[in-house]
Every structure is written in C-alpha cells, then in structure tokens.
Amino acid sequence: MLKALRRVTVKENKPVDSVAEFEQEYDEKRKRDKYVLRLYVTGMTEKSRMAIENIKTICEEHLSGRYNLEVIDIYRHPVLAKGDQIVATPTLIKKLPVPIRKFIGDMSETEKILMGLDLRMKKD
C-alpha cells in the first residue's frame, strides 16, 4: 500500500495531501477487492431463507460483480461446520478480503453488516 502511494506522489509531482490521497487510493483499491463470502444455513428454515435473501440484496447493491457467495446447508455438509467453527446459525463468513469476519443471525441488520464488510465508507 505504501509503495503504491509513493509511486503516485512522484508521478503527479504536486504538493501532497497524503491523508486524502491514502484514503482515495484505499477506497479505490477496496472497490476492486473481490469478496469471498460463505453463508452457512440449516436447511430451508425461515431464518435461513431470510439470511440468504438479505445477504444477496446487500451483495447486489454494494458488491455487484465482485463477490462470490457460497451458501452451504450444514445439514448436508456437517463436516464443514467444524472447520469454520460454526456454532450459531445462520453464519456468514467473510473469507476475503482479510481479515476474516463472522456474522451470525438472519442478516437483517444491514448497517452492521456493511460496517463489518468494510463497505460503509466515510462519504456515504
């Protein structure tokens, strides 16, 4: 990240507002980030359905074209539950970009999810 910043300042050869430039660069980079999300649900319960619906809406609105959402029914793949430390369901795991984050619930609190996914930007 630092490397990129230095390259930018040298190229444009302007007085530097480094904070603003850093943020701009960071935002742009983040907008290019690929999101790998995994949602664990337990069959087609009401909570599962809600969670799938809610997360799909969020992804389409904010991550259109650069996300990969995998929905896993742990009734069918119980062995995966252990690896990803699933206790509560539904659970959403943000695998990429790092850091890994976990969300539990029916994904109805959009604001919390956006914050957690680092999609709530300063200017929004």
Which residue's CB is nearer to other proteins, number 33 or number 42? Answer: 42
Separation in Å, CA 22 to CA 17, 32, 40, 92, 107 = 9, 15, 35, 30, 31
**Distance of closest approach, residue 37 Cβ to other proteins, in angstroms:** 13
Cα angle: 54, vertex 31, 73; to 5 degrees:
35
Pair 87, 54: CB distance under 8 Å: no
Six-digit token string for 31: 């907008």
Q: Is 119 in the site for other proteins (CB under 8 A)?
A: no
Map the footprint of other proteins across residues 45-104, applying CB under 8 A.
47, 50-51, 54, 74-75, 78-79, 81-82, 85-92, 101-104
Euclidean distance between CA atoms 45 and 53, whole angstroms: 12
**Distance of closest approach, residue 13 Cβ to other proteins, in angstroms:** 43
Q: Which residues here bind other proteins, judged by CB under 8 A?
A: 40, 42, 47, 50-51, 54, 74-75, 78-79, 81-82, 85-92, 101-109, 112-113, 116
